[in-house]
Amino acid sequence: MKLLVTGGAGFIGSNFIHYWFKKYPDDQIINLDSLTYAGHLSSLKDLENNPNYKFIKGDIADLSIVDEAMNGVDIVINFAAETHVDRSIIDPTVFIKTNCLGTGVLLHAALKNNVKRFHHISTDEVYGQLKKDDPPFNESSEFAPRSPYAASKAGAEHLVLAYFITYGLPITITNCADNYGPYHDPEKLIPRFITNLLQDKKVPLMGQGENIREWLYVLDHCSAIDLILKKGKVGEKYLIAGTELANIDVTRKILKLLNKDESYIQYVPHRLGHDFRYAIDDSKIRALGFKSEVEFDQGLSQTIEWYKQNEWWWKILKQDRPNTDRTAQKSYQALPNVIMALHAENWNKIVYPITGKTFVAIVDIRPESETFAKVETFEFDARNHQALFIAKGLANSICVNGDKGVHYIYLVDDYYDGSDTKAVAFDDPDLNISWPVKNPILSERDKNNPKLRDLYPEKFS
Enzyme catalytic residues? 124-125, 149
Residue whose C-beta lies closest to ligand NAD: 10
Residue 119 vs 349, nearer CB to ligand NAD: 119
Can you tell me whether residue 437 is helix, strand or coil? coil
3-state secondary structure 222-273: HHHHHHHHHHCCCCCEEEECCEEEEHHHHHHHHHHHCCCCHHHEEEECCCCC
Q: Residue 7 interacts with ligand NAD (CB under 6 A)?
A: yes
Minimum CB distance to ligand NAD, residue 176 (Å): 4
Site for ligand NAD in 124-153 (CB under 6 A): 153
The SS3 assignment for 326 reads: coil
Which one of 179, 247, 329, 337 is in contact with ligand NAD (CB under 6 A)?
179
Binding to ligand NAD by CB under 6 A, coded x per residue (else -) over 385-404, reads: --------------------
Minimum Å gap between C-beta 435 and ligand NAD is 42
Q: Which of 18, 55, 83, 212 binds ligand NAD (CB under 6 A)?
A: 83
Q: Closest by alpha carbon to 181, among 62, 312, 299, 270?
A: 299
Coil, strand, or helix at residue 307? helix
Q: How far is the CB of 252 from ligand NAD (least distance, A)?
A: 20
Would you tell me how many other CB atoms lie within 10 Å of the CB of residue 133? 6
**CB nearer to ligand NAD: pick between 38 and 219:** 38
Positions of E strands within 127-235: 171-176, 178-180, 203-206, 212-217
**Which of 3, 4, 5, 13 is close enough to bind ligand NAD by CB under 6 A?**
13
18, 34, 160, 398: which one binds ligand NAD (CB under 6 A): 34
Question: Of the candidates 98, 147, 251, 358, which one interacts with ligand NAD according to CB under 6 A?
Answer: 98
Cβ count near 309 (within 10 Å): 10
Among 39, 232, 299, 356, binds ligand NAD (CB under 6 A): 39
Cβ closest to ligand NAD, residue 239 vs residue 351: 239
Closest CA to 342 of 368, 364, 369: 364
Asked if 125 contacts 95 with a C-beta cutoff of 8 angstroms, the reply is: no
Closer to ligand NAD by Cβ: residue 176 or 373: 176
Compute the 3-state secondary structure of the chain and give helix, strand, coil in percent, each to the nearest 5. Answer: 35, 25, 40
Residue with smaller CB distance to ligand NAD, 38 or 255:
38
State in angstroms the smallest separation of the CB of 173 from ligand NAD: 11
Q: Quick one: CA torsion of 314, 317, 323, 327, rounded to 10 degrees?
A: -90
CB of 406 to ligand NAD, least distance (A): 30
Q: Please report which helix (H) or strand (E) contains residue 4, including its range.
A: strand 2-6
Binds ligand NAD (CB under 6 A): choice among 81, 340, 361, 373? 81
CB nearer ligand NAD, residue 9 or residue 70: 9
- Please give the single-letter amino acid code of residue 195: T
Torsion of Cα atoms, 222 then 226 then 231 then 234, to 10°: 90
Judged by CB under 6 A, does residue 61 bind ligand NAD? yes
Stretch that binds ligand NAD, among 74-82, 190-198, 297-305, 414-422 (CB under 6 A): 74-82
Q: Residue 56 and residue 5: Cα distance in Å, rounded? A: 10
CB of 206 to ligand NAD, least distance (A): 16
Q: Which stretch binds ligand NAD (CB under 6 A): 171-179, 229-237, 266-274, 339-347?
A: 171-179
Q: Is 128 left (phi over 0), alpha (psi -120 to 50) or beta?
A: left
Alpha carbons 339 and 344: distance in angstroms, whole number: 15
Smallest gap from Cβ 116 to ligand NAD, in A, equals 21
Residue 213 touches ligand NAD, criterion: CB under 6 A: no
Cβ nearer to ligand NAD, comparing 80 with 229: 80
User: What is the number of other CB atoms lying within 10 angstroms of the CB of residue 370?
Assistant: 7
Q: Which residue in 102, 155, 186, 204 binds ligand NAD (CB under 6 A)? A: 102
Residues that bind ligand NAD (CB under 6 A): 6-7, 9-13, 33-36, 38-39, 59-61, 79-83, 98, 102, 121, 123, 153, 176, 178-179, 185
